[in-house]
Amino acid sequence: MAPLHKLLDFNSLDKIRDTSAFHRAVTVIIQKGNLISKASVELALYLIFSREGDDLLCMSLLTEFGLRMLDNKYFDMLRDFVEDYFANKRPSAREVTHVVGLIRKIAQCSKTEYSSKFLDLVQGVLGLLNHKEISSMSLDEQRLLEMCIGVLTDMVEN
């Protein structure tokens, strides 16, 4: 297979307006592409960060890329991105659940132990939920609690 940077047509990817379709297309590129050359890796990173303003999409794609490459520098990028996201925005419970879901995906990968570097974030989320009774939590908060517990369980098991 030819290197990724020789196969892609930027114009066709830029025409994908639907976020879900773009996510699927870039995920396939990340999972199936020949990411050996520096140019191919740079192109994949360009695609990951090309949708300005869609932070959750970027985090999702960066998670896929980190899991494909299994290189801590990409997980470090993700961690920095997540920290910046939480520092500069007031994410909803659904957005936090999405991010914790990405951390769980990393925790479920037996080839990396990087999820432990997100432990402080998971503990922070649990600390925010700790003051509430489960019966008084919204469904989003309950799902977030379950997701955090799942991350911790996956960290222990892997």
The residue whose two tokens read 């993700």 is 78
- The answer to whether 99 and 114 have CB atoms below 8 angstroms apart is no
Confirm whether 137 is domain-assigned: yes
Distance CA(86)–CA(79), nearest Å, equals 11
Q: What is the pLDDT of residues 125-153, one digit of tens each?
A: 999 888 888 889 999 899 999 999 999 99
pTM, 2 dp: 0.84
Q: What is the pLDDT of residues 57-75, one digit of tens each?
A: 999 999 999 999 999 999 9
Confirm whether 125 is domain-assigned: yes
User: By C-alpha distance, which of 87, 22, 21 is closest to 51?
Assistant: 22
Confirm whether 126 is domain-assigned: yes
Number of residues in the chain: 158
Domain limits for position 141? 84-158
State how many domains the chain has. 1
Confirm whether 12 is domain-assigned: no
DSSP-derived letter for residue 158 is -
Query: In whole angstroms, how far apart are CA 34 and each of 2, 7, 40, 44?
Result: 7, 10, 7, 10
